[in-house]
Amino acid sequence: MEVFANDEAGYRHWMQSHPQGFVLVSWNPPRPEYISVHRADCHCINPQKATHKIHWTQSYIKVCATSQEKLHDWVDTKWGSGVAFIHTCGHCRKAGRI
């Protein structure tokens, strides 16, 4: 699992290396009232699909992992179990990826 804040190159590299991964998005700095999880191939958070976007890790951090469970563990460690509710991306959920 890796956390990307103000690290565009690192985030882009992780996304290219883990096309089947999961990405948690939160404000930068992260706050429990806004947390969303996407599949790495989601057009909302993938630099290769949303080529018009330049900055991915400035206003929002990206916590990237190979499983959703690792993202839930990160949230539990950061804010405590049950404190933060993770929303799944509507695009990913409708496509049956989450």
Q: Total structural domains in the chain?
A: 1
Cis previous bond, 29, omega within 30: yes
Alpha carbons 36 and 5: distance in angstroms, whole number: 16
Mean pLDDT computed over 4-30: 95
User: pTM of the entire structure?
Assistant: 0.89
Per-residue pLDDT tens for 29-79?
999 989 999 999 898 898 888 777 788 899 999 999 999 999 999 999 999
Alpha carbons 74 and 45: distance in angstroms, whole number: 19
Query: What is the span of the domain harbouring residue 62?
Result: 2-94
Higher-pLDDT residue of 29, 87 = 29
pLDDT at 95: 67
